[in-house]
């Protein structure tokens, strides 16, 4: 179908990857060399690479010296399951259940670990659960930022330093995109594929001294799969935090992530990454002011800066059923993909219909400035296609 909308003179972004995971590679990315492909992760060179990746993460994220970092399989999900299975059960648990993955962790705590004393503090998308209801004498499980809904807790001031329970945090898309007060968190899980656009399939766990103490003084009642077993009979497997991974990691992925971390460090580390996120958010905000088709789906007090969910304002769209809204939004994405201006930015299927655009630090503001006007073009073409 020939467009009825003129696109002469419309600029196209250099980077067209706006997926929320795996996310765009850093500017100037290149494929890793084959230097350690086919080599053992237990070799001297393999261990050095793993330890370099671990140290670079701690440096860029400014993780406290007395916190332990380990590399685990299965991205943020594997990392989160690892800390849930290893640490919970000593006391009651509160779960802030307000997005796709926090609801998953609530399910696992109740139905898989079968902890009897669980409080699910719920809220519906796109809002966040009420932190004032948390009892810090209990353990807490929550998502710092919801990649699926574009909502974030903007700070951790609500977590007291003198808490009795542990705070377990899914920070899948929060690391490398938000300022994190590590002293407010005891066990953190995140992936490589979000903030710095690393390859998927691997994640990291970060444990505070309080979390290590829990591992040394408490043994869960349930059997723990080997892949999640970071302690046995109250003995912590400290070699995990020294580079001896539980299973064989991909040397290719490790080298790729090291390059991403080197890039992050070279531009100024965490502060520079957060500044790039803010610049990207400002671009989206200014564009929304200048047009009348799209708006933020998430209200400001909950809104993440690094992943933006958009709604459509028009009566033609709002009058559609939820199923038809998804079909319409998918058409917008398809049109952008046909024009080679943007890929993979349809919202998560388990949320309300929306367009979800990653605005993390590996995205350049100049590419967003070129991409966003194409959404207006795509919207008008989609209307024409369905009329």
Decide the pairing of beta strands 231-232 and 235-236: antiparallel
The domain 270-386 is placed in CATH, from the list 3.90.1150.10, 1.10.150.20, 3.30.300.30, 3.40.50.720, at 3.90.1150.10
pLDDT for the residue 2: 43
pLDDT score for 8: 66
387 confidence band (pLDDT: 50, 70, 90): confident
- Residue 146 near residue 152 (C-beta atoms within 8 A): yes
- Euclidean distance between CA atoms 87 and 90, whole angstroms: 8
CA distance 50 to 41: 8
The pLDDT of 184-193, averaged and rounded, is: 97
The angle at the Cα of 253, spanning 192 to 150, to the nearest 5 degrees, equals: 20
Which of 195, 192, 189 lies closest to 276, judged by CA?
195
Q: What is the mean pLDDT of residues 306-317?
A: 97
Count CB atoms within 10 A of the CB of residue 248. Answer: 11
Which H or E run contains 119? Answer: strand 118-122
Q: Kindly report, residue by residue over 347-372, the tens digit of the pLDDT.
A: 999 999 999 999 999 999 999 999 99
> Whole-angstrom Cα distance, residue 303 to residue 262?
29
Q: Please state the domain extents for the chain.
A: 44-266, 270-386
Q: Which two tokens stand for residue 307?
A: 């992943």
Q: Distance (Å, rounded) from C-alpha 115 to C-alpha 221?
A: 10
For residues 290 and 193, the answer to whether their CB atoms sit within 8 Å is no
Q: Label residue 24 left, alpha or beta by phi (over 0 means left) and psi (-120 to 50 means alpha).
A: beta
The closest alpha carbon to 40, from 259, 256, 227, 249, belongs to: 249
pLDDT given for residue 5 in this prediction: 61
State residue 351's pLDDT score.
94
pLDDT at 384: 94
Strands 235-236 and 118-122: unpaired
Residue 3 has pLDDT above 60, yes or no: no
93-103 pLDDT, tens per residue? 999 999 999 99
Which CATH class, in words, describes the domain spanning 44-266? alpha beta
State residue 1's pLDDT score: 39
Average pLDDT over residues 14-43: 94
Instruction: Provide the pLDDT for residue 126.
Output: 87
Mode of pairing for the β-strands spanning 202-207 and 93-97: unpaired
pLDDT (tens digit, 9 = 90+) per residue, 114-158? 999 999 999 998 899 999 999 999 999 999 999 999 999 999 999
Residue whose structure tokens are 């699926």: 148
């Amino acid at each position: 179908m020939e467009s009825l909308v003129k696109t002469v003179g419309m600029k196209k972004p250099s980077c067209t990857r706006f997926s929320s995971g795996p996310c765009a590679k850093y500017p100037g990315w290149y494929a890793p060399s084959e230097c350690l492909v086919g080599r053992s992760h237990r070799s001297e060179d393999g261990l050095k690479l793993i330890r370099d990746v671990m140290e670079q993460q701690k440096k860029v994220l400014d993780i406290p010296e007395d916190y332990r970092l380990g590399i685990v399989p299965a991205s943020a999900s594997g990392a989160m399951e690892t800390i849930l299975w290893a640490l919970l059960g000593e006391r009651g648990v509160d779960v802030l259940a307000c997005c796709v993955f926090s609801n998953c962790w609530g399910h696992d705590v109740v139905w898989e670990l079968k902890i009897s004393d669980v409080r699910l503090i719920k809220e519906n998308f796109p809002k966040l659960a009420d932190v004032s209801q948390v009892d810090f004498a209990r353990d807490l499980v929550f998502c710092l930022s919801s990649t699926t809904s574009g909502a974030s807790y903007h700070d951790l001031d609500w977590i007291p330093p003198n808490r009795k329970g542990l705070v377990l945090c899914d920070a899948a898309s929060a690391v490398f995109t938000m300022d994190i007060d590590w002293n407010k968190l005891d066990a953190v899980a995140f992936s490589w594929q979000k903030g710095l656009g690393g390859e998927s399939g691997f994640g990291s766990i970060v444990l505070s001294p309080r979390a290590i103490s829990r591992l040394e003084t408490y043994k869960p009642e349930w059997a723990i799969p080997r892949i999640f077993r970071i302690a046995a009979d109250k003995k912590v497997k400290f070699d995990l935090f020294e580079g001896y991974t539980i299973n064989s990691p991909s040397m290719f992925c490790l080298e790729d992530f090291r390059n991403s971390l080197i890039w992050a460090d070279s531009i100024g580390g965490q502060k520079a990454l957060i500044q790039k996120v803010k610049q990207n958010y400002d671009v989206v905000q200014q564009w929304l002011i200048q047009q009348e088709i799209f708006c933020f789906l998430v209200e400001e007090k909950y809104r993440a800066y690094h992943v933006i969910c958009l709604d459509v304002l028009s009566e033609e769209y709002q009058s559609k059923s939820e199923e038809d809204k998804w079909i319409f939004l998918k058409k917008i994405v398809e049109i952008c993909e046909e024009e080679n201006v943007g890929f993979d930015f349809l919202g998560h299927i388990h949320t309300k219909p929306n367009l979800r655009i990653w605005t993390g630090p590996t995205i350049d503001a100049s590419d967003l400035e070129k991409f966003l006007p194409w959404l207006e073009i795509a919207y008008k073409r989609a209307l024409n296609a369905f009329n």
